[in-house]
C-alpha cells in the first residue's frame, strides 16, 4: 500500500503544508488536517463574501433619512388622484356629457385631458369609480387648482374645482356627480 503523502507529493497544496507537519502526520490525521485547512479557507471566503454583500446593499440606498428629518434623496413627486362617480340614479338620462380633468397653477393651465364622451346614465356608481392618477407636470410645487370641468350637451358647462396646497404631495379629488 502506497502512503497518502506519496500521492500528494508535488501538488501545490501539499507543498504549502510546513515540512515539519508533513512528516509527523500519519495518513488519517493528514486528511483531518486537509479538511481543517479547507474549512478555514471556506470560512475566509464566506466572511469576505458577506462583507462585500453588506457593503453593496448599504451603498445602494437612494433615499437616506437623517436625524434632523430632511430627506437628501430625490424630491417627492406630487400626484393628483381623481375619482369620478355618482351616488344618484341617472338610468333614464340619455344626454351626452364630456368630462375634463384639470390642473392649473396661478398663471396658466398646466394639464387638462378630456375623457371620452358618455351618456349621463353611464357615469359609474360609487362602487365602480373612474380613478385617474396624474403626476403634476414638472413637479410644480406651487398651489394648484385641480378638479373636473364637464359639459352637458345642449345644457352648458360647469366645473368642480378644489385647491391643491403647496407642500402637499397627494391631492385627492372625489367628484360625486349630481
> How many angstroms separate the CA atoms of 103 and 108, rounded?
9
Quick: pLDDT tens for 44-57: 777 788 888 777 77
Check pLDDT > 80 for residue 88.
yes
Quick one: pLDDT band at residue 36, thresholds 50, 70, 90?
low
CA geometry: angle at 58 spanning 55 and 59, to 5°?
80
Using alpha carbons, list the distances in angstroms from residue 132 to 11, 105, 127, 149.
Answer: 71, 19, 15, 15
Mean pLDDT of 113-121: 90
Phi, psi dihedrals of residue 42, rounded to the nearest 5°: -65, -40
Grid cell 375619482 — which residue?
Answer: 83
Long-range contacts of 48-53 (CB under 8 A, 24+ apart): none
Report how far Cα 105 is from the mean position of its chain's Cα atoms.
Answer: 28
Residue pair 148/82 in contact by the 8 Å Cβ criterion: yes
Amino acid at each position: 500500500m502506497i502512503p497518502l503523502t506519496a500521492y500528494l507529493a508535488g501538488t501545490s497544496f501539499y507543498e504549502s503544508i510546513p515540512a515539519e507537519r508533513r512528516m509527523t502526520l500519519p495518513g488519517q490525521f493528514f486528511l483531518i488536517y486537509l479538511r481543517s485547512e479547507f474549512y478555514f479557507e471556506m470560512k475566509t471566503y464566506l466572511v469576505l463574501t458577506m462583507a462585500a454583500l453588506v457593503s453593496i446593499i448599504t451603498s445602494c440606498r437612494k433615499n437616506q433619512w437623517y436625524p434632523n428629518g430632511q430627506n437628501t434623496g430625490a424630491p417627492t413627486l406630487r400626484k393628483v388622484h381623481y375619482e369620478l362617480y355618482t351616488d344618484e340614479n341617472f338610468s333614464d338620462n340619455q344626454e351626452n356629457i364630456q368630462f375634463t380633468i384639470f390642473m392649473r397653477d396661478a398663471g396658466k393651465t398646466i394639464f387638462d385631458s378630456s375623457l371620452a364622451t358618455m351618456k349621463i346614465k353611464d357615469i359609474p356608481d360609487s362602487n365602480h369609480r373612474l380613478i385617474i392618477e396624474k403626476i403634476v407636470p414638472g413637479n410644480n410645487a406651487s398651489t394648484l387648482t385641480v378638479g373636473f370641468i364637464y359639459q352637458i350637451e345642449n345644457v352648458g358647462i360647469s366645473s368642480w374645482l378644489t385647491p391643491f396646497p403647496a407642500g402637499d404631495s397627494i391631492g385627492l379629488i372625489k367628484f360625486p356627480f349630481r
